[in-house]
Structure 1
Amino acid sequence: MHRSTLRALLLTLGGVVLVGTGVPAHAAGAPISTIAPNSAKSANQISLGGVVVPLRTIDAVSLVSGRVNFVLGSIGTRVTAGQVVVAVNNSAQMANLQEAQAELLSAQIGWQTANIQYTRQLYSPRSNNVASPMSIGPSGLFNHYFTGPFAQMAGLQDPGLDRYADTVQSKDELLLAEQQIRVAQARVANAQSALSDTDTYAPFDGVIMSKQVEVGGTVQPGSPLLVLADVSRMLVKVDVPEDLVPSMRLGQPVPITIGRTELPGIIYQIYPLAAPSTHTVPIKIMLPPGAPVASGMYATITLPGNGADGVSQSPQVAVPETALIKGYYLPCVLVVNPHTHKTEIHVLRLGETLPHGMVVVLAGLKSGDQVVLHPPAHAASGWEPGHTPHTVADRSGASSRG
């Protein structure tokens, strides 16, 4: 491209209205246009760019480790609530469950034995101090008529106290058996939960937006599985300048343009916090049911301005529509880096369209950036125009060194 043509492609940003000012031929070789700051008010409406998003989106992750045995469908597959979308091999979890169930059975048998012993102690004490006189051995006849009574008279034995001690011991053994059952039941519940975690269920009717696993792959706890979206209703998410938010309300009608289609929308959600870096507040606008849109589409909404009679008084940065690079889905321009003199792609968030082929830039550019006026289609970063303007004129006509 000829050097004089490239010189004519550079633009310096600084306000709202493009003001053409001549630069001496020996300095730039061709007139260089500059945007004068604070030169005009914007119209009584402002256009903001956003993106179409589903009503709900979840990122499913694995809760267990193992090999993937099943994945439902592919990207775009519709699923119903409660349907298994991913299944992981559950042999290890099944073995843990069987082990826990065996421990529970053992604890239940121990409780039955302890309960029988406690009941017998209540109705038929087993203390040796109350042995029958017909029994054989030291606790038999001799102990009943001679040793036992003599020990009681001497204060060496107390049958009632011995019976009480045996009863307390039997009751403690029964309580311990009950606790062992509770512990075993908890282990069974944990094992059952781990077993159920091997299957991932759809929490709502939706569509698989992306997959991160395939059958035969190995996952760990926390590994991403897939993204599921509820596309029964679609919304447009937009970052709105914070000074416009006080005039917005839930349910407020908002016109939306997606491609060449104009759709009615209503404000569905206003976030309670603003982004400190951009001073914007995200909002979501509900599209009508059955709108012919897909997640990720670029959308434009129209809002009233924030000044008197709906007119904004604040200066804004604008760019000619000819500076937008053709062939990109999102609005982009080529900005010349003042240090390397090479171009960089800047993605823009556009506002309203102004007269004379200008469009307001809400984000992506700042006053003083140098933009290529007529970039080639599908232009990429790293292009070197070969010339940086030497002189830039402000709106008063005075020139300054760039």
Structure 2
Amino acid sequence: MNISALACSAILIAGCGNAPEKTGQVQAVDTSALAHVQASMTRVDREIELDGIVEAVNRATVSAQTSGQIESLPFDVGDVVPAGSVIARITDTQQQAGVNAARAQLQEAKARFNEANQQLKRIEEVFAKGAVSQAEFDQVKAAQQSAAARVDSAQAALNDAVQRLDYTIVVAPYSGIVVRRLVDVGATVAPGTPLLEGIALDNLRVRVNVPQQYIAPLRSHRQARVVTDAGQSIAAAQLRIPPSADVQSQSFAVLAELPAQQEAGLLPGTLVKVAFAIGSGEQIILPDSAIARRGEITGVYVDEKGVLSFRYVRTGTTLGDGTTVILAGLSDGQQVISDPVAAANVYKQQRVAISQ
């Protein structure tokens, strides 16, 4: 324990006796060097705090889109995967053969089309001179059109074969982390076989079961903030409130979406507190740094014309801007020392002169 903490503890013990201090018995000291903050009534949101579970908005199971054997799985459970990274390779022998066959069929179809096209050009010249009948001309023209259609069909077959070959390399649809590996290297897969399950950590939300009596003010205010274990407050980007409640619990599964790229270190599946605004009112607020907390003792140092006194306070909600609501123990307009450690050192300079 450092010297400042020892000093504060000693002062708290001295200031927490059963007999209240009398201003006339305490010698005033110079408090001009201490930073002060005035306790003033401020309009703040009235909130309720409920437990919520963090979950990922983007959670997907990547499945195979072609047949073959798993050749490699570069990532395992817990690995961070950048978007576009190869997460699985499937043997491509059958797919490569399909591409080669489709390419050969396309070349054959093009050759037949060229032949039919040349034949059409020759008969057009003869037809123009009236040397062949209309029926013969129509027959050659139909053959040329049929050959052109076979080229289109062969090209579509080649495109499909190339796509099947591309499916042998599976890439991550977005940046995230692998949470489940559903196949092993060497396993035979078919279209639809699940391979890996992953989640994106840059797009999270919190699911909260809200009792029905709070839904009306929630719909009216639509404000919430997520409070982490470390005390960090994150304003929800959006609230999604379902139109109906769960039949069994009579609660609403409200989703509080977190801002993208939040840096609080939240992970899916963890428990957090969510503070929902349900109204507003006038309350005293103080900076967190001005409140002294020693075990179960919570108080502040009040300056009354150079005389310091330690006041027990009852605190309420910790707000997102580094301030805390004071429910009891302070009055509007009182001067509070911003630094409790510095106040404790000055407090020791006061000498109580008890009259006989």
* TM-score higher than 0.5: yes
Helix, strand or coil: the match of 1:208?
A: strand
Q: Deviations over 1:189-235 (max 9, x none)?
A: 21122112222211222222221122212222222111222212433
How far apart are 1:166 and its partner, in Å?
Answer: 1.9
Q: Which amino acid letter does the alignment assign opposite residue 205 of structure 1?
A: S
How far apart are 1:87 and its partner, in Å?
Answer: 1.5
Q: Which amino acid letter does the alignment assign opposite residue 226 of structure 1?
A: L
* Aligned positions of 1:219-230 closer than 5 A: 219-230=189-200
Q: Deviations over 1:341-370 (max 9, x none)?
A: xxxxxxxxxxxxxxxxxxxxxxxxxxxxxx
Partner Cα separation in structure 1 for residue 173 and residue 215 of structure 2: 33
Q: What is the aligned partner in structure 2 of residue 34 from structure 1?
A: none
Q: What is the aligned partner in structure 1 of residue 275 from structure 2?
A: 302
Q: What is the aligned partner in structure 1 of residue 253 from structure 2?
A: 281
Helix, strand or coil: the match of 1:292?
A: coil
Q: Do 1:233 and 1:290's aligned partners in 2 also have CA atoms closer than 8 Å?
A: no
Q: Structure 2 unaligned runs (5+)?
A: 1-45, 282-356
Residues 106 and 204 from structure 1, CA distance in 2 versus in 1: closer, same or farther, beyond 3 angstroms? Answer: same
Helix, strand or coil: the match of 1:52?
A: strand
Q: What is the aligned partner in structure 2 of residue 290 from structure 1?
A: 263
Q: What is the aligned partner in structure 2 of residue 58 from structure 1?
A: 60
Q: Does 1:184 align with 2:186?
A: no
Residues 211 and 273 from structure 1, CA distance in 2 versus in 1: closer, same or farther, beyond 3 angstroms? Answer: farther
Q: Do 1:250 and 1:270's aligned partners in 2 also have CA atoms closer than 8 Å?
A: no
How far apart are 1:251 and its partner, in Å?
Answer: 9.6
Q: Deviations over 1:66-114 (max 9, x none)?
A: 2111212222222222221112112111111211111111111110000
Partner Cα separation in structure 1 for residue 270 and residue 171 of structure 2: 28
Partner Cα separation in structure 2 for residue 93 and residue 231 of structure 1: 35
How far apart are 1:305 and its partner, in Å?
Answer: 5.2
Q: What is the aligned partner in structure 2 of residue 95 from structure 1?
A: 97
How far apart are 1:247 and its partner, in Å?
Answer: 3.2
Q: What is the aligned partner in structure 2 of residue 70 from structure 1?
A: 72
Q: Which amino acid letter does the alignment assign opposite residue 256 of structure 1?
A: V
Residues 301 and 91 from structure 1, CA distance in 2 versus in 1: closer, same or farther, beyond 3 angstroms? Answer: same
How far apart are 1:188 and its partner, in Å?
Answer: 1.1
* Aligned positions of 1:6-17 closer than 5 A: none
Partner Cα separation in structure 1 for residue 220 and residue 237 of structure 2: 5
Q: Which amino acid letter does the alignment assign opposite residue 58 of structure 2?
A: R
How far apart are 1:58 and its partner, in Å?
Answer: 1.7
Q: Structure 1 unaligned runs (5+)?
A: 1-43, 131-158, 310-402
Q: What is the aligned partner in structure 2 of residue 81 from structure 1?
A: 83
How far apart are 1:299 and its partner, in Å?
Answer: 1.3
How far apart are 1:297 and its partner, in Å?
Answer: 0.6
Partner Cα separation in structure 2 for residue 113 and residue 292 of structure 1: 68
How far apart are 1:179 and its partner, in Å?
Answer: 0.9
Match for 1:199 among 136, 144, 169? 169
Helix, strand or coil: the match of 1:185?
A: helix
The RMSD of aligned alpha carbons is: 3.1
Residues 201 and 120 from structure 1, CA distance in 2 versus in 1: closer, same or farther, beyond 3 angstroms? Answer: same
Residues 125 and 265 from structure 1, CA distance in 2 versus in 1: closer, same or farther, beyond 3 angstroms? Answer: same
Helix, strand or coil: the match of 2:214?
A: helix
Q: What is the aligned partner in structure 1 of residue 313 from structure 2?
A: none
* Aligned positions of 1:3-402 closer than 5 A: 45-124=47-126, 162-248=132-218, 252-277=222-247, 278-279=249-250, 280-286=252-258, 289-304=262-277
Q: Deviations over 1:310-332 (max 9, x none)?
A: xxxxxxxxxxxxxxxxxxxxxxx
- Give the count of matched residue pairs: 235
Q: Deviations over 1:31-72 (max 9, x none)?
A: xxxxxxxxxxxxx74332211123422221111222111212
Larger Rg: 1 or 2? 1
Q: Do 1:87 and 1:200's aligned partners in 2 also have CA atoms closer than 8 Å?
A: yes
Partner Cα separation in structure 2 for residue 224 and residue 101 of structure 1: 31
The normalised TM-score by structure 1 is: 0.52
Residues 246 and 174 from structure 1, CA distance in 2 versus in 1: closer, same or farther, beyond 3 angstroms? Answer: farther
Q: Percent identity among equivalent residues?
A: 23
Helix, strand or coil: the match of 2:170?
A: strand
